[in-house]
Amino acid sequence: MPGAQTSRIREGSFVLSASIVFPPTREDRAVTDLESFHVYDTSLRDGAQQEGLSLSVHDKLAIAGHLDELGVGFVEGGWPGAVPKDTEFFRRARTELNLKTATLAAFGATRKAGARAADDPQVRALLDAETPVVTLVAKSHVGHVERALRTTLDENLAMIADTVAYLTEHGRRVFVDCEHFFDGYRTDPAYALRVVRAATEAGADVAVLCDTNGGMLPDDVRAVVAAVAAETGARLGMHAHNDTGCAVANTVAAVDAGATHVQGTVNGTGERTGNADIVTIVANLELKRALRVLPDGALQEATRIAHAVSELTNIVPYSRQPYVGASAFAHKAGLHASAIKVDPDLYQHTDPELVGNDMRLLVSDMAGRASIELKSRELGYDVSGDRELVTRVTQRVKDLEAAGYTFEAADASFELLLRTEAEGQRLSYFDVESWRVITESRPGGDALSEATVKLRAGGERVVVTGEGNGPVNALDHALRTAIGALYPEIDKLELIDFRVRILDAAHGTDAVTRVLVEMTDGKTSWETVGVGANIIEASWEALVDAVTYGLLRQGAAAIS
Amino acid sequence: MPGAQTSRIREGSFVLSASIVFPPTREDRAVTDLESFHVYDTSLRDGAQQEGLSLSVHDKLAIAGHLDELGVGFVEGGWPGAVPKDTEFFRRARTELNLKTATLAAFGATRKAGARAADDPQVRALLDAETPVVTLVAKSHVGHVERALRTTLDENLAMIADTVAYLTEHGRRVFVDCEHFFDGYRTDPAYALRVVRAATEAGADVAVLCDTNGGMLPDDVRAVVAAVAAETGARLGMHAHNDTGCAVANTVAAVDAGATHVQGTVNGTGERTGNADIVTIVANLELKRALRVLPDGALQEATRIAHAVSELTNIVPYSRQPYVGASAFAHKAGLHASAIKVDPDLYQHTDPELVGNDMRLLVSDMAGRASIELKSRELGYDVSGDRELVTRVTQRVKDLEAAGYTFEAADASFELLLRTEAEGQRLSYFDVESWRVITESRPGGDALSEATVKLRAGGERVVVTGEGNGPVNALDHALRTAIGALYPEIDKLELIDFRVRILDAAHGTDAVTRVLVEMTDGKTSWETVGVGANIIEASWEALVDAVTYGLLRQGAAAIS
């Protein structure tokens, strides 16, 4: 089976020869299954090493559920015995986790030097985790054995063989992570090979070659994996880190060279520059290498799951993330918009729907009619029939962008603009008469801001004052007080981001200021833009747009 | 130190064959120079296509200066004629840019179908930019020629040949970006090759093969680049996008296959998933491939420059970024901590100092003593002799960065901090008692700000009020009035930039605000930083630092 797969990889792609092979057709797709090719996720163990990341047992159980939906074959839950939280995770997993496709794996180390595996509490804890699979980390670099582990090269091999044998005798399936393998192979290839043999001869199913320090490039990996496969005949896996920016490429190179087990983490979390992003790996293998490594249909869940895991790990999603990032299929309009409309595949390396993502069009500097039409359709307005409207909107966008506005990151302001042009008047829940903000330093404390807003809403004139630790915060509080009774929906809206740019820096603080604010109703979020010579004025404009759009989304009826 | 660097490079690299070869010795090192190997940066053109990114002409000029310090061979400034801002950039570059090593390139398209290059205003604009190099984008994919460009295959070749010839006749050196080359080669290899020949036979120096949609994997790239090199003998370049997470690996693969020109952007900015990160590319080529592609010593500036460009583009630095990220050499203390202290090279793929970064053992927001000493020396203070001072400054910087300050782009604030720690008291030209700013909307006009500042200077108590079109502008005016008589040097100082970032977006406008201001005396400029819950307070802190530093530079004596 691995053999068949290897030859399939050769046919299915450009690898291993300088001759050009065309991409495989649907019919040539290799039919693999979760056993013949392992997708092994270590988000809960190695991924949790990321600086600033701390997962509760509850987080880990929730993430494990998402990984199962993604269809990975194995979920490494942590290091029982060494990390109390992980011991607890495996205990609760027995009753609280119902994995459909994934198998749970416990991670641990080989026995201590000079002791029996059976007497090593850390090894016992691996059995107590009661997982079908145990993944053992083993030293394969002579320098690490001698200087970090501080034992002999032979004792290290005995530690590996004993521990693997002990765990298999107790019915566990064992994978061995050969730590620092590539650096070790460079230092002493013969010893690195002895480690792989010690593991597999003792009963380990897979020897996972780890680029622990992440310093390898794809050619290095391919050459070493090919050599180890030829020398040992062992089933090989790949565990890559991204220190050269090549973690995904190194993993694909290992597969090209015969590895049939890949390790990674969702969103590439991990120590230093992180681990290989498992979502990018599987998308590349399925869409670029024609390997079926996930259950049918699972890949379409990738974007949703990657974002859900971001939420659980409380890490802001990376907009440039391959395949699943918010910008991954976003195109600046203008120049190519008309062509994109005719033939999107000319500008996409794959169909975003295959990974559950969407193509987005950004209204930018060179905005043209085509991009305005596409953007409007994306927002749910078909304006293609109304040439005059498109002309008016296009002109308006051009004028505003010339004045410093940008709509790329402010869809909500664009939608309000579109509605204004379409309906002939601006949607308005209140009419602002004037506002004032006073900010004062306070001896020994933070400065305080006080905002007064005068407006008309629901036929009434309202004058309110709000305080805040900043001027925009104070204006936000005043506005809420002013219209809260009339539009209780505003309680659902919250400002979550605020960005400021000076546009013509040539005149420093005399320059035009652009403010982008992001608001959420707890379900989705939207961005608006404001521009003005005065930063407070620009902020107020963006704030009013954000609240107006929010009330519109909440279905509030304008009361005049 | 260069010796150490060379030996580090020797240890850290493989040569370019699929068999295991030990790293090259010093003698084997390919000695290259800026001409035999091109490092071509397109941060200002393709990088500026990133969603939400909008650079002013001032930003672009500042970034170009940083790119020159990084030692890149070519800086692509933009598309004159098509983008007004870029036309302006090239105009101002003539007088305002003093590039030491980099050559400026203008980017543009081939002539329109059925017209003469000389009559094409877009082509004229390329000459008017007066750059030594012009980079032309040319279609090399039959589908794009017929469906997007909507002309014949032969006319497209004529458009390329004519435009290249016209520009070379006018003394320009021409590079040709072969757009969608890899997809085009897959669709119709013969035509893709004709495009390369049309460009080089007409006088283009380099045919840059572009993976415009970013869908390639390293083996695809290596195979195509090797085939094109064999077929055409042309000098080839690589332009990669990161849609498969392999932009850097694809670029290295192209170099392995014979490309001697690489394109990328600082921090990997760009459309969709971004362009190849030029810093990661050069670090890999220098440290893993033993190629010398930057001037000696330049690579050590990489971290500082990458972070400075992040601040200029107002993009949050990516902590997991290879080589230069804040986490790139961060190790969670614990398991390996002692071993790391004893023998850090066991746990690092390269020496962080080679890229100007530092290893961090404890979770902390800033690097250690080494960078403090380095930065101090850079500012003209040799503190290496005073261990206690270095300890105090390092601790102070760590505390401040934990509170949200950043010093990568605020050398002036760092220098004031350093002097304060060295002299035991803060340099002060005036003592602020309190301040207040009122900002008011005005019917039919821009909002107006009025600032009142109370301070003591030269033994006098001063209370002054200043107006401005923004709060910071008003505070600036008030401060100038308050101390202008005592320190006339302040008239030479002008605020030229002002950037704001919300640090904890989780609480929107309640979050901590970081303000960076840039001030100039007409000769040089300097940046300072302020942090606070209130944006006006943070701005005031940065403003006071900027003025204090400016007066210090002017040689003003503090009068108390």
Q: What is the DSSP string of B497-550?
A: EEEEEES-GGGGGGS-EEEEEEEE-SS-EEEEEEEESSHHHHHHHHHHHHHHHH
Contacts of B173 (CB under 8 A, 6+ apart): B132, B133, B134, B205
Select from B354, B347, B359 the least CA-distant residue to B292: B354
B41 and B13 in a common domain: no
A124 and A227 in a common domain: yes
Are the beta carbons of A20 and B497 separated by less than 8 Å?
A: no
- Domain C-terminal end among A418, A439, A470: A418
Given a cut of 50, is residue A15 above it in pLDDT? no
- Domain C-terminal end among B390, B418, B446: B418
Please state the rounded mean pLDDT for residues B247-274. 97
Q: Give yes or no for B381 touching A (CB within 8 A).
A: no
A129 and A249 in a common domain: yes
Show residues of chain B in contact with A445, CB under 8 Å: none
3-state helix, strand, coil in chain A (%, to 5): 45, 20, 35
B442 and B353 in a common domain: no
B295 and B150 in a common domain: yes
**Distances, alpha carbon A294 to alpha carbons A64, A261, A433, B297, B393, in Å:** 16, 13, 59, 47, 53
CA distance B541 to B70: 31
Show residues of chain A in contact with B180, CB under 8 Å: 346
B372 and B243 in a common domain: no
Q: Give yes or no for B534 touching A (CB within 8 A).
A: yes
Residue owning tokens 């040949």:
B161
Please state the rounded mean pLDDT for residues A384-396. 87
Q: What is the largest CA-CA distance in chain A?
A: 88
Show residues of chain B in contact with A408, CB under 8 Å: 51-52, 54
**Distances, alpha carbon B179 to alpha carbons A120, A396, B3, in Å:** 60, 32, 42
Per the domain annotation, does A202 fall within a domain? Answer: yes
| Dihedrals phi, psi of B525, to nearest 5 degrees | -130, 160
Instruction: Give the pair of three-digit tokens for residue A298.
Output: 């699972």
Nearest CB partner across the interface for A215, out of B12, B498, B510: B12
Q: What is the pLDDT of residue B332?
A: 61
- Taking the CA of residue B537 and the nearest CA in chain A, the distance in Å comes to 6
- Taking the CA of residue B442 and the nearest CA in chain A, the distance in Å comes to 7
Q: Give yes or no for B271 touching A (CB within 8 A).
A: yes
Q: Give yes or no for A252 touching B (CB within 8 A).
A: yes
Which chain B residue is nearest to residue A284, measuring alpha carbons?
B244
Q: Give yes or no for A168 touching B (CB within 8 A).
A: no
Mean pLDDT of chain B: 87
Q: Give yes or no for B147 touching A (CB within 8 A).
A: yes
- Taking the CA of residue B271 and the nearest CA in chain A, the distance in Å comes to 7
Select from A365, A328, A511 the least CA-distant residue to B78: A365
pTM above 0.80, yes or no: no
A22 and A96 in a common domain: no
Nearest CB partner across the interface for B220, out of A14, A316, A436: A14
Select from B511, B439, B506 the least CA-distant residue to B475: B439
Q: Which of residues 448-507 of B touch A (CB under 8 A)?
A: 448-449, 468-473, 476, 494-502, 505-507
Hey, which residues does B517 pair with through a beta bridge? B498, B528
Please state the rounded mean pLDDT for residues A287-316. 87
- Domain C-terminal end among B369, B397, B418: B418
Q: Give yes or no for B365 touching A (CB within 8 A).
A: no
Are the beta carbons of A533 and B329 separated by less than 8 Å?
A: no
Are the beta carbons of B314 and A501 separated by less than 8 Å?
A: yes
Per the domain annotation, does B469 fall within a domain? Answer: yes
Q: Is A519 helix (H, G, I), strand (E, B) or coil?
A: strand
- Taking the CA of residue B382 and the nearest CA in chain A, the distance in Å comes to 31
Q: Give yes or no for B333 touching A (CB within 8 A).
A: no
A137 versus A527: the higher-pLDDT residue is A137
Q: What is the pLDDT of residue A23?
A: 40
Instruction: Give the pair of three-digit tokens for residue A394.
Output: 């296009």
Q: Give yes or no for A339 touching B (CB within 8 A).
A: yes
Given a cut of 90, is residue A67 above it in pLDDT? yes
Per the domain annotation, does A423 fall within a domain? Answer: no
Per the domain annotation, does A321 fall within a domain? Answer: no
Per the domain annotation, does B19 fall within a domain? Answer: yes
CA distance A452 to B234: 68
Given a cut of 80, is residue B222 above it in pLDDT? yes
Are the beta carbons of B244 and A434 separated by less than 8 Å?
A: no
Tell me which of A392-406, B179-193, B437-451 is least confident.
Answer: A392-406
Q: Give yes or no for A267 touching B (CB within 8 A).
A: no
Query: How confident is the model over A329-344, as pLDDT tens digits?
Result: 988 755 566 677 778 8
Domain boundaries, position A21: 1-30
Query: How confident is the model over A187-218, as pLDDT tens digits?
Result: 999 999 999 999 999 999 999 999 999 999 99
B45 and B22 in a common domain: no
A14 and A94 in a common domain: no
- Taking the CA of residue A128 and the nearest CA in chain B, the distance in Å comes to 22
A53 and A22 in a common domain: no
Q: Give yes or no for A217 touching B (CB within 8 A).
A: yes
For B48-75, b where at least 16 C-beta lie within 10 A, e where not — what string? bbbbbbbbbbbbbbbbbbbbbbbbbbbb
Q: Are B501 and B316 in contact (CB under 8 A)?
A: yes
Per the domain annotation, does B319 fall within a domain? Answer: no
Residue owning tokens 């490079």:
B9
Per the domain annotation, does B323 fall within a domain? Answer: no
Q: What percent of chain A has pLDDT over 70?
A: 89
Show residues of chain B in contact with A502, CB under 8 Å: 56, 497-499
Which residue type does B104 have?
Answer: L
Are the beta carbons of B534 and A448 separated by less than 8 Å?
A: yes
Q: Residue B484 is part of a domain; what is its CATH number?
A: 3.30.160.270
Nearest CB partner across the interface for B470, out of A141, A323, A533: A533
Query: How confident is the model over B163-219, as pLDDT tens digits?
Result: 999 999 999 999 999 999 999 999 999 999 999 999 999 999 999 999 999 999 999
Q: What does the DSSP assignment read for A440-466?
A: EEETTEEEEEEEEEEEEETTEEEEEEE
A302 and A444 in a common domain: no
A370 and A460 in a common domain: no
Per the domain annotation, does A44 fall within a domain? Answer: yes
Hey, which residues does A39 pair with through a beta bridge? A262
Which ipTM was obtained for this model? Answer: 0.73
Residue owning tokens 């919300």:
B502
Tell me which of A388-402, A468-482, B190-204 is least confident.
Answer: A388-402
CA distance B69 to B92: 19
- Taking the CA of residue B169 and the nearest CA in chain A, the distance in Å comes to 28
Q: Residue B273 is part of a domain; what is its CATH number?
A: 3.20.20.70
Count: domains in chain B: 4
Residue owning tokens 């001030």:
B519
